[in-house]
Chains A and B, each alone.
Chain A
Amino acid sequence: MTVWAVEAEGVQKRYGGVAALKGVDLRIPEGAIHGLIGPNGAGKSTMFDILCGITKPTSGRVSVLGMDVAAVPAHQVAQGGVGRTFQRTAIFRDGSVRENLLLASFGRMRHSVLHRILRAGTWREDMAGFESRADAVLDTCGLTALADQPAASLAYGTQRRLAVAIMLMNDPKILFLDEPVAGMNDAETAEFIALVRDIARGRTIVVVEHDMAAIGALCSEVLVMVDGLPVVSDTPERALAHPDVVAAYLGTDDDD
């Protein structure tokens, strides 16, 4: 029996009179790398934010890792094992790469201010746990040599890897990537795809992306959305060849 990491049914979202999502169904099996694509304005970002618990749907049922993300505040969704990156690279700009990972370790730590003052066991365990986790994450993301560099001075592609590293500190069971390779050069994209494949072991990954080559290289299945509605859910090759999808991207003859 398939275990679903994401189960969404009839998800609608209205902003005033504008319907951004008009009833989206989405199921993503645990452990998959799933794509979410569609032309601009299709509602991908809204769906993405709903799945992360940032935006609440107007109606419909959304379950991520068994959590009703429509009813739970965003930070609790994150604590429940949901990680996400941002379209505009989100890193902590004041501080080194390692300090970024330290700021990202909130969810892993348990010590109080009193523990810190007394240098209690809880604090020492937290710091030791941080060190080993950070070393592992730095290694995975190829950032070990840059650990003490100021984060703001890193190259763009490296900053995006750091954004992933930040999320990996909490070891999320599902990771949402918002246009991860946008603006990257070919070498950076290839490097990033290898990284995503690497970190996909033992977790579910959802990618919103315009770069179809990256989607094709990564995803086992994609959902194509057009104008707030799901059009087709299939392998990337078959989905992109679907006549409705071709029409949505290129326009149809009777468009004018």
Chain B
Amino acid sequence: MTDITESAPGPRARGGSASLRGAGLMALGIAAVLAAGFGLDGDPFLLNLAGYTCGFALFALSVNVMLGGLGEVPLGHCMFYGLGAYAPAMTMHHLGLPYEAGVVIGMVVAAALAAPIGWLTLHLTGAYFSIVSWGLSGVAMVTALNLDVTGGPLGLFGFSRLAVGPFDLSQPATYFFVAAAVLLAVLALLYHIRSSRFGRAMEAIRQGPHLARSLGIDVFRERLKALVLSAPIAALAGALSLPYTQIVTPEVMSVLRTVDALLAALIGGVGLIFGPAVGAVIFTILPQFLDLDPNVKVLVFSLLIILVMVAAPGGLHQLWKAAAARLTHARKGDAS
């Protein structure tokens, strides 16, 4: 990763212009959601898929808190996603609690679980952290497979009412708008976190843990905070997948889900707040329109990742930036 400078998670010195930029991006996001929502013209399948994509984007954002934020590859993150999907399913099934309560419980449990898991694993870095994290998600998957409360290998399905307050998520349009609103809210939250003291501590740690420590940053503590922050976002993403999948099986904790999110983040750009969300959209919508076989999809996206890594290591937006820079250059050339 040589030329990542321009895509560096921008701690902007001038708070004012950064806020303006943030507001502009948020407006763009809302416009995109509205355009998609009404553009899909009531097509229930596509609206459902769009809602699911928002959930997946949320998961990619959560993964990217670790990847783009700390420079770690959290292979086991699918565990928190699965936990978030199982929590409302189990509380609805066994306790008769409403969906919203299950979502909140899932997020709380994910955060509470992330703390001891982080305590154990975050002393490790790089491949060691990734492998141990993957191992723990495997444990979670086997647990879900063997418990009665999780429905074992068949999982849980047949949910009574998937709704958030007055919004009935079984309505495709409602599902999409609720999921998109949650996504935009989390984007706004992450934007503010990145430009806060905590976000800059993470960025300092990503770029140079030793230097960060010499600046008074408790490296382990900030890394732990990042995991505890990202886990409930992953759980929320898992919960938002329910209206689309209508079932939770142990498969939900498959490491392939994390890999998908990592690919989405890499395609969209790990250094950008909204990069993973854009990547997630490309990652789900493109195979749908190209009608790709799942196996072919893996091949296509693997090739795409290689291309991205070669041509634009900071994410696809770099191609756009490079093209824009070339255009301005050409124009200047004309003028002189």
Contacts and interface: CB of A to CB of B under 8 A. Distances in A.
A79 B218 CA distance: 10
A58 interface: no
Contacts of A104: 204, 215
A102 B200 contact: yes
B299 to A, nearest CB: 32
B213 A103 contact: no
B195 A95 contact: no
B208 A90 contact: yes
Contacts of B157: none
Contacts of B4: 94
Interface in A180-227: none
A75 B218 contact: yes
Contacts of B199: 113
Contacts of B5: 93-95, 150, 152
Nearest to A153: B5
B8 A94 contact: yes
Given A95-B8, A117-B192, A102 B13 contact: yes
Given A90-B211, A113-B198, A166-B215, A103 B193 contact: no
A78 B197 CA distance: 17
Interface of B: 4-5, 8-13, 15, 19, 189, 192-193, 195-201, 203-204, 207-208, 210-219, 271
Given A90-B210, A102-B11, 4 more contacts: A95-B5, A111-B197, A115-B196, A167-B214
30 contacts: A52-B214, A73-B218, A75-B216, A75-B217, A75-B218, A84-B214, A90-B210, A91-B211, A92-B204, A92-B207, A92-B208, A94-B4, A94-B8, A94-B207, A99-B12, A103-B11, A104-B215, A106-B197, A106-B212, A112-B196, A112-B197, A113-B192, A116-B192, A117-B192, A119-B19, A127-B15, A134-B13, A152-B5, A166-B215, A170-B215
Interface of A: 52, 54, 73-76, 78-79, 83-84, 86, 90-95, 98-99, 102-107, 109-113, 115-117, 119, 123, 126-127, 130-131, 134, 150, 152, 166-167, 169-170
